[in-house]
Amino acid sequence: MPAPIAVADSITRVGPEAAGAVVVNASHGGIYAAYLAAKLGAVAAIFNDAGVGRDRAGIGGLDYLQQFGMPAATVGHETARIGDGTDMMASGVITFANALAAALGVGPGQSCREAAALLQHAERIDRAPPEAIEGAFLLIADDPQVWALDSASLVAPEHREGIVVTGSHGGLLGGRPETALKYDVCGALYNDAGIGKDQAGISRLQALDARGIPAATVSAASARIGDARSTYEDGIVSRVNASAAALGLRDSMTARAFVAELRRSLSQ
């Protein structure tokens, strides 16, 4: 019997329905998102390639899932809005597939819908869950604290008085402003995921402006998506929102400089 297809705006918004299903999710195709798909027990997965980016991090999850026996593929960030599963199914075009997905006939140029149908015939195998990946790290302990969060889904109440540097893409989930960030914080950084279709990769920035939160994205070419420490250590700011610009923060700064300047502003 073919596996069911579960469509979601983010792999972090998928629940028990993922087990044994083909998860078509509009998260980036990096290792952290792939880890979550494996942890959920999906039989196969399709992600957004997030502009591929530095060290091909936007598709790094494909090889990661290959080792756990899971077929996986990505759609192009210019063909479907990152963070929008419905648009992914309607408009997404496959750009990359791992060997297990290719063996089922999945390949570049196919529609997402066609690829998902092929992945419904993936073999269900028992696999040991991968070793847990820690996703939250305290970068600067002095107030205002700076946290590195590989996924924006890890933002918690204890981060309200700090700055969060995330590995997540800067796209709203399903275009909904309330998904920009779960809690108000003092500042936020994301990866622009190549910006992509309808500039979806930076759509959180305006939504955070409405909440008075200074925010920016770093270029996907500069930092590995899904890796918050790379955002901080390697990132070059690609876009800032109006709240950040009002503090003198600007495009082309390093992420380190953005955080340092924001901390200085918050301390005055």
Q: Are residues 21 and 112 in the same domain?
A: yes
Q: Are residues 167 and 74 in the same domain?
A: no
Q: Are residues 95 and 161 in the same domain?
A: no
Q: Are residues 98 and 219 in the same domain?
A: no
Q: What pLDDT shows up at residue 204?
A: 98
Let me know if residue 217 belongs to a domain: yes
Per the structure, the complete domain to which residue 175 belongs is given by 136-267
Q: Are residues 17 and 83 in the same domain?
A: yes
Q: What pLDDT shows up at residue 124?
A: 81
Let me know if residue 28 belongs to a domain: yes
Let me know if residue 250 belongs to a domain: yes
Let me know if residue 130 belongs to a domain: no
Let me know if residue 128 belongs to a domain: no
Let me know if residue 131 belongs to a domain: no
pLDDT (average), residues 73-97: 98
- Alpha-helical (H) ranges within 104-193 are 112-119
Q: What pLDDT shows up at residue 128?
A: 66
Domain boundary among 88, 119, 150: 119
SS3 254: strand
Q: What is the mean pLDDT of the chain?
A: 96
Q: What pLDDT shows up at residue 268?
A: 84
Domain boundary among 64, 87, 119: 119
Q: What is the DSSP string of 6-57?
A: EEES-GGG--GGGTTSEEEEEEE-SHHHHHHHHHTT-SEEEEE-TT--GGGG
Let me know if residue 129 belongs to a domain: no
- Contacts within 8 Å (CB) and 24+ apart, 98-104: 98/62, 98/63, 98/65, 98/66, 98/71, 98/72, 98/73, 99/66, 100/65, 100/66, 100/69, 100/70, 100/71, 100/72, 101/44, 101/62, 101/71, 101/72, 101/73, 103/71, 104/71
Q: What pLDDT shows up at residue 60?
A: 98
Let me know if residue 126 belongs to a domain: no
- Rounded-to-integer distance, Cα 49 and Cα 12, Å: 17
Indicate if the pLDDT at residue 152 is higher than 70: yes
Instruction: Render pLDDT for 169-178 as a digit per residue (tens, 0 to 9).
Output: 999 999 999 9
Q: Are residues 140 and 257 in the same domain?
A: yes
61: Cβ–Cβ under 8 A, 6 or more apart, which residues?
29, 30, 31, 32, 33, 34, 35, 37, 45, 47, 72, 226
Q: Are residues 147 and 260 in the same domain?
A: yes
pLDDT (average), residues 218-226: 98
Q: What pLDDT shows up at residue 125?
A: 75
Q: Are residues 114 and 199 in the same domain?
A: no
Q: Are residues 105 and 181 in the same domain?
A: no
Q: Are residues 185 and 96 in the same domain?
A: no
List % helix, strand, coil for the chain (3-state, nearest 5): 35, 20, 45
Is the distance from CB of 45 to CB of 23 less than 8 angstroms? yes
Indicate if the pLDDT at residue 77 is higher than 70: yes
Q: Are residues 144 and 109 in the same domain?
A: no
pLDDT (average), residues 20-24: 97
Instruction: Render pLDDT for 154-172 as a digit per residue (tens, 0 to 9).
Output: 999 999 999 999 999 999 9
Indicate if the pLDDT at residue 109 is higher than 70: yes
Q: Are residues 58 and 149 in the same domain?
A: no
Is the distance from CB of 223 to CB of 230 less than 8 angstroms? yes
Q: What pLDDT shows up at residue 129?
A: 66
Instruction: Render pLDDT for 117-144 as a digit per residue (tens, 0 to 9).
Output: 999 999 887 776 677 777 899 999 999 9
Instruction: Render pLDDT for 245-263 as a digit per residue (tens, 0 to 9).
Output: 999 999 999 999 999 999 9
Domain boundary among 65, 90, 119: 119
Q: How many domains does the chain have?
A: 2
pLDDT (average), residues 52-77: 97
Radius of gyration of the CA atoms of the chain, in A: 18
Residue 149 belongs to what H/E stretch? Answer: strand 146-149
pLDDT (average), residues 231-235: 98
